[in-house]
Amino acid sequence: MTQAPSPATADSAAALAAVRAEIARACRDAGRDVASVTLVAVSKTFPAEAIKPAIAAGQRVFGENRVQEAKAKWPPLMAKYQDLHPGIELHLIGPLQSNKAKEAVALFDAIHSVDRASLCEALGKEIAKQRRAPLLFAEINTGAEPQKAGVLPQDADAFLTACRETYGLTMSGLMCIPPLDEAPGPHFALTAKIAKRNGLKLLSMGMSADFATAISLGATHVRIGSAIFGGRT
Ligand SMILES: *Cc1c(COP(=O)(O)O)cnc(C)c1O
């Protein structure tokens, strides 16, 4: 007997397909290969039940913003799906406290929020100890917003040099979150410019509302939550 999918199942799978189509369209418009953009499905606040349909629909890269939440939610999901749907990747997109570096290095395949020396030091130690090397993105506070994490644009070059030379980290890219009340394009362009002059290839930029713009400006990782899973309460 086949069971009709629940509305939630149908919704998130359909929303995921729509987002993928939008990503493909943005890539075509920008003359880019669709394989050059990784969709990070941001599942923060959503329970495992809401995530399963996305895994079943082929989504493999997921983003979480809190270590504790990810630690409770993902290992059981990964254990359950490693045979049927192998290759799930978990990305940390939210701020990371240095005292959680150990757990973060153990759990995540990428960390998008590297933003200060004390964290670099903690990550360097854990990466060496655990022999695990998650992809590392430095977060740039392009809008210089006081309430937001991230390195100021004018400090980015020195920070990236310290990441490499002082802490021995292999940095792969940059991440930014543009101010809510500004056009995102200039913030994405600034992030791309800083990455280019520092020889970094990956750009984590673009969320539900602005990922097409981000792709037009070179995003390699778009972090999309609400457009796939619905609104968060
Ligand atoms: C929540 C979050 C997202 C996803 O935001 P949506 O607008 O739901 O797509 C992306 N990046 C970061 C850093 C987030 O915290």
User: Which pLDDT belongs to residue 7?
Assistant: 44
Nearest residue (by CA) to ligand 1, atom 7, is 208
The one-letter amino acid at 211: F
Q: Which two tokens stand for residue 65?
A: 């913003």
DSSP code per residue over 37-48: -EEEEE-TT--H
pLDDT < 50: residue spans in the chain: 1-7
Helices (H), the chain: 7-30, 48-56, 67-81, 101-107, 117-130, 156-165, 185-197, 211-216, 226-229
User: Do the Cβ atoms of 134 and 111 come closer than 8 Å?
Assistant: yes
Report the separation in Å between the CA atom of 36 and the middle of ligand 1, taken as the mean of its atom positions.
Answer: 20
Which residue is associated with the tokens 């570096």? 101
- d(C-alpha 55, C-alpha 61), whole Å: 9
Report the separation in Å between the CA atom of 42 and the middle of ligand 1, taken as the mean of its atom positions.
Answer: 6
* DSSP summary character for residue 151: B
Nearest residue (by CA) to ligand 1, atom 6, is 225
Q: Which two tokens stand for residue 45?
A: 């606040």
The one-letter amino acid at 102: K
Helices (H), 82-155: 101-107, 117-130
Nearest residue (by CA) to ligand 1, atom 4, is 225
Report the separation in Å between the CA atom of 133 and the middle of ligand 1, taken as the mean of its atom positions.
Answer: 24
User: Which pLDDT belongs to residue 10?
Assistant: 59
Residues in the chain: 233
Domain ranges of the chain: 12-229
Determine whether domain 12-229 maps to CATH 1.10.10.200.
Answer: no
Neighbours of 148 (CB within 10 A): 15
Residue 50 region by backbone torsions, left for phi larger than 0, else alpha for psi between -120 and 50, else beta: alpha
CB distance 65 to ligand 1 below 6 Å: yes
Sign of CA dihedral 93, 99, 105, 107: negative
Nearest residue (by CA) to ligand 1, atom 10, is 223
Nearest residue (by CA) to ligand 1, atom 12, is 93
- d(C-alpha 71, C-alpha 52), whole Å: 16
- d(C-alpha 53, C-alpha 134), whole Å: 26
User: Which pLDDT belongs to residue 6?
Assistant: 43
User: Which pLDDT belongs to residue 12?
Assistant: 86
Residue 51: partners with Cβ closer than 8 Å, 6 or more residues away: 43, 62, 73, 77, 229
To the nearest 10°, report the CA torsion of 124, 113, 119, 186.
Answer: 110
Neighbours of 232 (CB within 10 A): 10
